[in-house]
Amino acid sequence: MQQNKIGIAKFLIYVRIGMHVLWKYRKHLSIKFITAAARLLAAFSDNKVVKLANGTYKLHIYLPAYPTRAFFKAIEDKLISKPPKPVTVVLSVTKACPYRCKHCYQRFDKNEDMSSEKVLETVKKFSEAGVSFLNIEGGDAFLKFNLLCKIMDSLDDSMEVWINTTGTNITKKKLATLKEKGVCGIMVSVHGSSAEFHDDFVGVKGAFELAKKTLVLCNEVGLGSAINTVLTYEQIQGNVLDEIMLLAKDCNCDFVQLIHPKRAGEWLKNKTLNEKDAEIRRYVSKAHKQYNALQDFSALPAQAQEEHEDKFGCTCGGIDRFYVGANGEVQPCEFLNISFGNVNEEPFEIIFARMREAFKVPCIEWMCEVKASKIYEFMQKHSIEKTPIPYEYTKELVKNWVGTPTKIYQKLKIYQRDAGPDQD
């Protein structure tokens, strides 16, 4: 059940969370700690607070819900841990998928899926690395329903889990089982406001109806729900977001996550994709403000908003987030088709440390945007046909990738360029 908090109700939740954080970490209390905690929480405050059916509160889709153990783990990742730790990983459990989405960032990922044992081992290592938000996807993750159950059986409550789906291979019983095993929510892809557009975009007739049905089922079994939507400039011009917000309202959906069109996978070669970027960002900023102030609509988290230079910027490379593909390749982000190593060949922690070394400081420049042409040209030059680019090439490619440090982390005094990421 979607219960959004805005205005004074939202303010009171923030006060409650702030007090709880200060009390819980009273051993660390100092002006510096209080200022950092206030800055961190304030960074989410332009989003609507969503009360999930399980009674917990989401300040943002990728921040675990308050007052869960995963929420406090995320707070500790940034305010207490030295070095600070990542919050989110996106994990693909299979490349297999009956859909052919036009923007698929894994379109050229070719190798075999990891074994179930390797997936379970890697998920355990995510938790040890600090991850508190596990976002599982495919391909079609529901093709590996038994593995999804095994993952959930292997976890304690230190990670909040959401699963991405197109709606295919879903049944109410499967959703109820996952809810029972501790899954918090389901993210459903909807890339247009009409069956005609969405079905064409994903290459499967009936996909739009299936997605809607999945959202309704999530609501029926008490799972959190989100629409994931990638909207291009042309769709934004056609007011498609407004129609999707109405659809989400009808389905009692908790979030509509607006994903920026990124040059990765199938769209890596699309040189004109970001030509209207400034207009898209202006529109997103306006829509974000508008919808997050309206009680009756779903919360609207938007990548372009949270990755704005005045917010968190680009947090790839294990700063806040990273990606592990179905074949075990560890990438800085799902939208950056470069690998720092494969968990089938090396321990995850070694690969992760190597990646962190390459992305020491979060920057305002979006790596997926400013480096897309370089990645594409590099692949052409070296005749690389499958993604992600293997580490032997990645290390050459990422040499000297530096940008402008994001202000919030400089103010939190973590991930400092001069002092290094491990310093206080």
Q: Name the one range near ligand SF4 by CB under 6 A: 64-72, 82-90, 170-178, 365-373.
A: 365-373
Q: How far is the CB of 338 from ligand SF4 (least distance, A)?
A: 10
Least distance between ligand SF4 and beta carbon 334 (Å): 7
Q: Cis link prior to 347 (omega < 30° from 0)?
A: no
- Which residues in 320-335 are b (16+ Cβ under 10 Å) and which e? bbbbbbbbbbbbbbbb
Q: Work out how close the CB of 88 gets to ligand SF4 at its nearest, in angstroms, rounded to a whole number.
A: 10
The answer to whether residue 336 forms part of the interface with ligand SF4 (CB under 6 A) is yes
Closer by beta carbon to ligand SF4, 61 or else 336: 336
Q: Please tell me whether residue 335 binds ligand SF4 under the rule CB under 6 A.
A: yes
- Calculate the alpha carbon distances from 65 to 15, 71, 142 in Å: 15, 6, 24
Of 112 and 377, CB closest to ligand SF4: 377
Backbone angles phi, psi at 35, to 5 degrees: -65, -45
Our finding on whether 363 is near ligand SF4 (CB under 6 A) is no
**What is the smallest separation between the CB atom of 402 and ligand SF4, expressed in angstroms?**
14
Shortest distance in whole angstroms from residue 305 CB to ligand SF4: 12
Q: Long-range contact list for 168-171, CB < 8 A, 24+ apart?
A: 168/98, 168/99, 168/140, 168/142, 168/204, 168/207, 168/210, 169/140, 169/142, 169/143, 169/145, 170/142, 170/210, 170/213, 170/214, 170/217
When binding is defined by CB under 6 A, the residue of 187, 211, 304, 316 that contacts ligand SF4 is 316
Quickly list DSSP for 102-127.
TT-TTTTB-SPPPPHHHHHHHHHHHH
CB of 335 to ligand SF4, least distance (A): 4
Interface map 235-274 toward ligand SF4 (x if CB under 6 A): ---------------------------x------------
Please report, in angstroms and rounded to a whole number, the separation of the first and last CA atoms in the chain.
Answer: 41
- Span interacting with ligand SF4, options 32-40, 162-170, 175-183, 328-336, rule CB under 6 A: 328-336
Under the binding rule (CB under 6 A), the answer on residue 135 touching ligand SF4 is no
Q: Which stretch binds ligand SF4 (CB under 6 A): 124-132, 175-183, 342-350, 363-371?
A: 363-371
Beta bridge partners of 134: 89, 161
Q: Per CB under 6 A, does 314 bind ligand SF4?
A: yes
Considering only 49, 89, 355, 368, the residue that binds ligand SF4 (CB under 6 A) is 368
Q: Is residue 315 a contact point for ligand SF4 (CB under 6 A)? A: yes
The piece of 72-80, 171-179, 216-224, 311-319 that touches ligand SF4 (CB under 6 A) is 311-319
Three-state secondary-structure class, residue 2: coil
Q: By the 8 A CB rule, do 389 and 337 touch?
A: yes
Count CA atoms within 13 Å of residue 275 on its CB side: 5
Q: Which of 183, 190, 207, 333 binds ligand SF4 (CB under 6 A)?
A: 333
**Which is nearer to ligand SF4, 144 or 321 (by Cβ)?**
321
Q: Does 397 bind ligand SF4 (CB under 6 A)?
A: no
Q: How many C-beta atoms surround the C-beta of residue 131 within 10 A?
A: 27
- Residue 120: other Cβ atoms inside 10 A: 16
Q: Is the CB of 204 or the CB of 273 nearer to ligand SF4?
A: 273
How would you classify residue 400: left for phi > 0, otherwise alpha for psi between -120 and 50, otherwise beta? Answer: left
- Count the residues of the shown chain that bind ligand SF4, applying the rule CB under 6 A: 12
Q: How many angstroms separate the Cα of 88 from the Cα of each of 108, 286, 330?
A: 24, 26, 13
Does the footprint of ligand SF4 cover residue 104 (CB under 6 A)?
Answer: no
Tokens linked to 292: 């997050």
Interacting span for ligand SF4 (CB under 6 A) from 31-39, 205-213, 272-280, 312-320: 312-320
Tell me if residue 10 falls in helix, strand or coil: helix
Residue 87 binds to ligand SF4 (criterion: CB under 6 A)? no
Residue 307 binds ligand SF4 (CB under 6 A): yes
Measured distance CA(320)–CA(185) in Å, rounded: 20
Answer yes or no whether residue 398 interacts with ligand SF4 by CB under 6 A: no
Could you tell me the smallest distance in angstroms from the CB atom of residue 315 to ligand SF4? 5
Report phi then psi at 311, rounded to 5. -110, -125
State the residues that interact with ligand SF4 by CB under 6 A: 262, 307, 314-316, 321, 333, 335-336, 366-368
